[in-house]
Structure 1
Amino acid sequence: MTHPGWGDKWADVPVLRVPDSPFDTPQESVPGQGAAVLPLRRSGDPPAPRWEKPPLRRPAFWTRRRRRVLKVALLALAGLLTALALVLAWVVVDALRARSALEQAAQGVARLHADAVAGRTDRLDAGVAGLQHQAAEARDATSGPHWSLAGRLPGVGPTVEAVSTMAAVVDGLAVGALPQLAAVVQVADPAAFAPRDGRIDLAPLVRVAPDVAQADQAIGDAQQRVGRVGGSLMLPQVGRAVADLEQQLGGLRTSTATAARAAALIPPMLGAEGPRDYLVLVQNNAEPRALGGIVGTVLVLHADEGRIELTRQMPASEVGPFARPAAPLTDDERAVFGDKVGRWLQNATATPDFPRTAEIARAMWARETGQTVDGVLAVDPAALAGMLQVTGPLEVTPGRRLAGAGLVGYLINGVYLTETPAGADRIFADVAETAFASLSSGAGRAGGMVEALAGAAREGRLLVWSAERSEAELLEGTVLGGGLRGVDGSRPVVGVFTHGLQMAKIGYYLDTAVDVVERERRPDGSRRFDVTVTYSSRVDPGAAARLPDYVVGRGEEEPGRIRLRSVVYAPAGGIVVAASENSEKIGFSPQKHDELSRVFDDIELHPGKTASVTYVIISGKHQGGDVIVRTTPGPRPVKVTFGK
């Protein structure tokens, strides 16, 4: 059907014929018309869909081929899954074997550490051999193509990587740093460093110093590598093994870091590279200052190639006082301590920052004597008594020998009950000379001396500073350094210090306790603590009036009353927001000292009584570690507790 307006060419367009089947051939065009003719539809036939294509029929051979291909694919997939299951089963068996070996290895590291610290050198070789066997077992269990394949599988990779990394770490330590460390411990046995005829043989320590440093670095690297292992997808059993190994390596690193510092510090500080002179400040805890007590006596020690001599001693009162501070003071120091900290040697310990105390004392000594020392040490009678426990009782007066707490009590209290100040100074001089001779003789168990020194350092009773910059940096951050700091890594540091307000030795009767309770973890990462400082008087109310003026203080209205200043430093970035004394709120004015916020409260403690001050402290942000509390060492240990 056409339309006249469509034109003549419309009739020449061929009309397609719909085939009856895919295999029908089209009919030829009617001659003269040039078009294929569709079959005529009969009346009653259903109309053909305009756009629907007829179904395509496939030959039978095509269907059979597709079935064969599908069957082969299914068989291949089943084989692959079976192989994968076998690989995973193999990996699981090896992982369990490796985990068992690694758990034993972690225990082996702990035993090796304990033996090294205790000086049980006879057990070290066997301990290292056992660790090597366990490490080899874990290494063999985590090697091979099946292990590499499993490491690439989703969900399995973190566990495989954790076990493999731990095996590699332990194996590396077992064949590298730990045998080296065992050899170092054998050479650096404390008994080898006991003084003989007043001299310490430094050659063995100089020889092993590079090995100690290398072992410490290797263990530190291993700890960091294990710390990066794992993730949320790691199996819990493997996660616990990772945490255990990291903890054991951390404990070992603490010891190796200490050993590495000691190996780097001791030889040069004892004169291996040239003579050294040190000023020793002997503190008296009966008259409290932040670092312990006023400086009562000063000594000078001369060290040359391991030989140590006592060359001078004198009362600290004979150094100065100076008209102007011997060393420049910062604005903070002037505001907080006044200029006496730089003019009176007895008050140099008023700052809780020992490096500053050392610098000021060194400058005072140089101005007074003309001698410039190479370093400064601070000790107190309790530290001395701890060392003398190893060598034996000390003769304090003819026929009277004391040790331990009895020696401490006599030196900072008993001597004042029977002697004049001048007589007490003479006794102190004799005791210092006798004690030095006893300690330099090498008598007693060397391991016991090391333990006594370590205990004194932990309590803040033994402090060391070197004028050599590299040595001062090694001491910084250690218990020997005594620096003022408000944070240690992620651990907030709270300072709790005591300053006596009397020119008296009444502080001998003062006991101090500190309780820290965490109250809140805040959204910004800071924390709120209640720090309660409790002071107790041991003064017998009935006997207070009979105590000498030198002990209770001349002109005191109430003999036996203890007047003191309680000083608290907040952690870095933190602040003290409230305070109360005996449950009654008190006011205070915050001060700044070396970027740390500090507050204080003056307390009058009557004989036999107790007073408590609670400080509410907000820490700096992101200080989630355990709290460190620095305190003023007293005649007896300060009791520090952490409540909830």
Structure 2
Amino acid sequence: MRRRIIRILIAIVIIYTVALSIQAGLTALHAKSYVASLSGEYDRTTLDNQSNQVASDVNRLFTLLSVPVVKQIASVAGVDFSPIRDEVVATIKASSWLVGADAPKRYMIAFQNSAEARGTGGILGAFAIIDLNKSALTVVRTGSNAVLYSLKDVPVKVPAEFTKLYGKNPAILQNSNLSPHFPYGAEIWMGLWKKQFGEQLDGVIAVDPSSLSYVLKATGPITLASGEIITSENVVAETLQKAYKRYEKDNNARKQYLVDIMNAAASKITSGQFSKVEMAKAIKRGLIENRILLYSRDQEAQKELSTVRLGGFLSKDPNNEYRAVIQNIDASKLDYYLKRSVVVETKSCKNIQQTQVRVKLTNTLKSGVGLPAYVLTRADKGKPADLVTGQHRFKLFIYGPTNAKLVSVLRENREDGLGGGSTERGRPIYVADVDLAPGESEELLANFAGGVGNISFVDQPLVIPTELSVKGGC
């Protein structure tokens, strides 16, 4: 009996291995043809058909690789890419346009500074303009936000609810990405660029120092002209904390320092000086943490991106998704020290689902004494008379699911100044103004009615990842 079972298991393994080999072979053949087409002269329909064929092959390959024993082995080896399956397939489907197979494409790479929080992560600190032409990448120019200017009005068409929620602030370069809906920020950045340089960009790719730290694991350390070595381990602290002290008297030099780091990393990437496996791992982690975002001006490509994390959409589809978004309003760089703990808990499944979101915010800074004035900036109006050095003011936006309702709110130890409600893209929002001295914490609570499907939470990519707990479900 035991031998029979063993023979059956061996047969299953052989069948699976053969099937996997055949599938891999088909994928390789389609992929080889597809890669060749990206460098050739083909019409858009042909390119899209080939993209869809490769995407279909890859999707089937992911299905085969989801067999538990294989998945377990892949996880142990650190090469389980199933968590970004949807992103991989969607990107392949859109790739012929994205990589410039039909015509050269020009993108802005937006380097977000997560020490000053915005809806999609952080303020735009530095940028690069790159060309993609038949999958060949060229860096055209790089710079800091010092060379970009702002407008009085938002340069693209936005919904009335957007203006009601954010006013004209997004017309200011540093506030373009106040909304967590990435296409809004990307379109505004592109609009500002066109107004200033008369050039229509084809898309925006957003990254941050944390995602760069993952990439540096693949490329290895980079050496600046000064001889300074930037590594995966030190790049976040060097760019978002230590640089402010080092260049305390020269903020433009600090911004150039960011550009120098970006240039050095880009040089390694464009010259192929990296481990492909480690780079894939870096991209995987960046995607999962919402630190890599992509917007395309092409409607068909954007349609694919809208369904996955890479697109950074605040979806209007039915869902049971929650968010806790920080908006820095004092112009400080104190979000580097901000800790967030979130508990999403089902309270009732009768009739309409009831869900509670508790957000605890902590200013982990022990003391602001000795920090550069630029880091401690309080440019907000109505500052308290007894302002403590290192005190940080920001807004918290707690988002509920599409078509849900904000039922009630509560703030720790407060009966007034609770904040208010608003909406964005069909989502109810609890908005509150928070001001925390070093070491202080506050907990805010929002109750929502509605939601479809399993509870999910989309984390805003700041320096300190959110501590998340999800309880219950219907």
Q: What's the TM-score once normalised by structure 1's chain length?
A: 0.62
Q: Which amino acid aligns with 1:580?
A: L
Aligned in 2, Cα 1:405/1:290: closer, same or farther, shift over 3 Å?
farther
Structure 1 Cα separation of the partners of residues 252 and 59 of structure 2 = 53
Aligned length: 435
The match for 1:390 among 218, 228, 233 is 218
Structure 2 Cα separation of the partners of residues 276 and 434 of structure 1 = 23
Structure 2 Cα separation of the partners of residues 364 and 430 of structure 1 = 24
The match for 2:321 among 486, 490, 493 is 493
Asked if the contact 1:216/1:257 (under 8 Å) is kept, the reply is no
The structure where helix makes up a greater share of residues is: 1
Residue 147 of structure 2: aligned partner = 318
The match for 2:199 among 340, 351, 371 is 371
Quick check: 471-480 or 309-318, which moved more? 309-318
- 1:81-92 maps to which residues of 2 (within 5 A)? none
Q: Does 2:423 match 1:592?
A: yes
Residue 259 of structure 1, CA deviation: 4.1
- 1:103-114 maps to which residues of 2 (within 5 A)? none
Residue 234 of structure 1: aligned partner = none
Asked if the contact 1:511/1:634 (under 8 Å) is kept, the reply is no
Residue 582 of structure 1, CA deviation: 2.2
Q: Does 2:379 match 1:549?
A: no
Residue 476 of structure 1: aligned partner = 306
Q: Which amino acid aligns with 1:371?
A: E
Which entry has the higher C-alpha Rg, 1 or 2? 1
Residue 438 of structure 2: aligned partner = 607
Residue 289 of structure 2: aligned partner = 459
Aligned in 2, Cα 1:262/1:540: closer, same or farther, shift over 3 Å?
same
Residue 574 of structure 1: aligned partner = 404
Asked if the contact 1:202/1:267 (under 8 Å) is kept, the reply is no
Aligned in 2, Cα 1:539/1:461: closer, same or farther, shift over 3 Å?
same
Residue 531 of structure 1: aligned partner = 357
Residue 497 of structure 1, CA deviation: 0.4
Residue 407 of structure 1: aligned partner = 235
Q: Which amino acid aligns with 2:93?
A: A
Residue 411 of structure 1, CA deviation: 0.6
**Counterpart of 1:384 in 2: which secondary structure?**
helix
**Counterpart of 2:433 in 1: which secondary structure?**
strand
Aligned in 2, Cα 1:519/1:585: closer, same or farther, shift over 3 Å?
farther
Q: Percent identity?
A: 20
For structure 2, which runs of at least 5 residues remain unmatched after alignment?
A: 41-46, 65-79
Asked if the contact 1:501/1:565 (under 8 Å) is kept, the reply is yes
Q: Which amino acid aligns with 2:117?
A: P
Deviations 1:295-347 (A, max 9, x none): 11122111112211111122224322213221133211111001121x21211
Residue 245 of structure 1: aligned partner = none
Q: Which amino acid aligns with 2:212?
A: L
Structure 2 Cα separation of the partners of residues 473 and 642 of structure 1 = 30
Aligned in 2, Cα 1:405/1:258: closer, same or farther, shift over 3 Å?
same
Aligned in 2, Cα 1:263/1:511: closer, same or farther, shift over 3 Å?
same
Deviations 1:94-126 (A, max 9, x none): xxxxxx99x979x97xxxxxxxxxxxxxxxxx7
Asked if the contact 1:278/1:377 (under 8 Å) is kept, the reply is yes
- 1:112-151 maps to which residues of 2 (within 5 A)? 129-130=15-16
The structure where strand makes up a greater share of residues is: 2
Structure 2 Cα separation of the partners of residues 266 and 569 of structure 1 = 32
Aligned in 2, Cα 1:104/1:471: closer, same or farther, shift over 3 Å?
farther
For structure 1, which runs of at least 5 residues remain unmatched after alignment?
A: 1-99, 109-125, 133-173, 194-199, 223-250
Residue 209 of structure 1, CA deviation: 3.7
Higher relative contact order (CA 8 A, sep 6+): 2
Residue 79 of structure 1: aligned partner = none
Residue 393 of structure 2: aligned partner = 563
The match for 2:182 among 347, 354, 357 is 354
Structure 2 Cα separation of the partners of residues 366 and 332 of structure 1 = 25
CA RMSD of the aligned region, Å? 3.4
Residue 32 of structure 1: aligned partner = none
The match for 1:626 among 454, 457, 460 is 454
Structure 2 Cα separation of the partners of residues 571 and 631 of structure 1 = 14
Aligned in 2, Cα 1:187/1:441: closer, same or farther, shift over 3 Å?
farther
Deviations 1:336-368 (A, max 9, x none): 001121x21211110111111111111110001
Structure 1 Cα separation of the partners of residues 378 and 344 of structure 2 = 36
